[in-house]
Structure 1
Amino acid sequence: MTFLVDEEITFRKLEILLAFMETGNLARTAEKLDISTVSVHRALHSLETGARCALFRLEGRNLLPTDAARTLADVAREVVRTMSEGVRATREVAGYSADRIRIGSLYSLTSRTVPKVIMGMKLRKPDLHTELVLGSNADLLQKLRDGAVDAVLMAIPDDAQDVESEPLFEDDIFFAAPTGSRYAEMAEVDLGACRHERFVSLSEGFVTYSGFMESFRIADFTPDVVMRTGDIFSLMNLVSGGVGYTLLPGRVRGALPQNVRLVPLQPKYLVRQTIAVNFLRTRERDPNLLALLALCRSSKAELA
Structure 2
Amino acid sequence: MKSKQETIFSSKTLTYFLQLADTMNYTQAAQILGITQPALTQQIKKLERTVGAPLFYSVGKKLRLSEAGRTMLNATHEIYEVLNQATDEIQQSTSADSGEINVGLLTSIEYSVFEDFAIQYYKENPDVTISFHMLTRKEIWDRLENNRIDLAIMYLPDDSIKNWKPYRSKKIITEDLLFIHHNEKFAGRKKIRLKDTLNNVWVTYPREYYLDQVIRENYKNAMVDTPNSVARFTTPDQIYEFSSATGAFTALPNSYILAKGTQDNMYSAQFEPGIKFDLAFVFRKDKDEIPRVGRVLNAFDQYLAEQDYTTRLTHIHDEKYRNSEGAKD
The CA RMSD over aligned residues, in Å, is 2.7
Match of 1:255 in 2: 260
Is the CA contact 1:202–1:209 (under 8 Å) kept in the aligned structure 2? Answer: yes
- Greater shift, 222-231 or 137-146, is seen at 137-146
Give runs of aligned pairs for residues 196-215 of structure 1, distance below 5 A: 196-215=199-218
Q: Which amino acid aligns with 1:262?
A: S
Match of 1:283 in 2: 287
Shift of 1:213: 1.6
Match of 2:242 in 1: 238
SS at match of 2:300: helix
CA distance in 2, matches of 1:110, 1:216: 24
CA distance in 2, matches of 1:144, 1:249: 24
Q: Which amino acid aligns with 1:213?
A: R
Shift of 1:185: 3.5
Is the CA contact 2:88–2:287 (under 8 Å) kept in the aligned structure 1? Answer: no
Identical residues among aligned pairs (%): 15
Shift of 1:296: 2.6
Match of 2:233 in 1: 229
CA distance in 2, matches of 1:124, 1:162: 32
Shift of 1:252: 0.4
Q: Which amino acid aligns with 2:296?
A: L
Match of 2:101 in 1: 101
Give runs of aligned pairs for residues 156-167 of structure 1, distance below 5 A: 156=156, 157-158=158-159, 159=162, 160-167=164-171
CA distance in 2, matches of 1:151, 1:92: 13
TM-score by length of 2: 0.57
CA distance in 2, matches of 1:91, 1:147: 8
Structure 2: gaps (5+ residues)? 1-85, 311-329
TM-score by length of 1: 0.62
Shift of 1:212: 1.6
CA distance in 2, matches of 1:205, 1:163: 22
Shift of 1:103: 1.2
Match of 1:294 in 2: 298
Shift of 1:174: 0.9
Give runs of aligned pairs for residues 1-304 of structure 1, distance below 5 A: 91=87, 95=91, 98-156=98-156, 157-158=158-159, 159=162, 160-178=164-182, 181-220=184-223, 221-242=225-246, 244-253=248-257, 254-256=259-261, 258=263, 259-266=265-272, 268=273, 270-300=274-304, 301-304=307-310
Is the CA contact 2:181–2:247 (under 8 Å) kept in the aligned structure 1? Answer: no
Output one character per residue of 1:227-275: Cα deviation in whole Å (capped at 9) or x when no partner: 1111111111111122521111100012245243321222x2x111111
Output one character per residue of 1:112-157: Cα deviation in whole Å (capped at 9) or x when no partner: 3212331343245321011110123332222222222211111134
CA distance in 1, matches of 2:106, 2:138: 10
Structure with higher Rg: it is 1
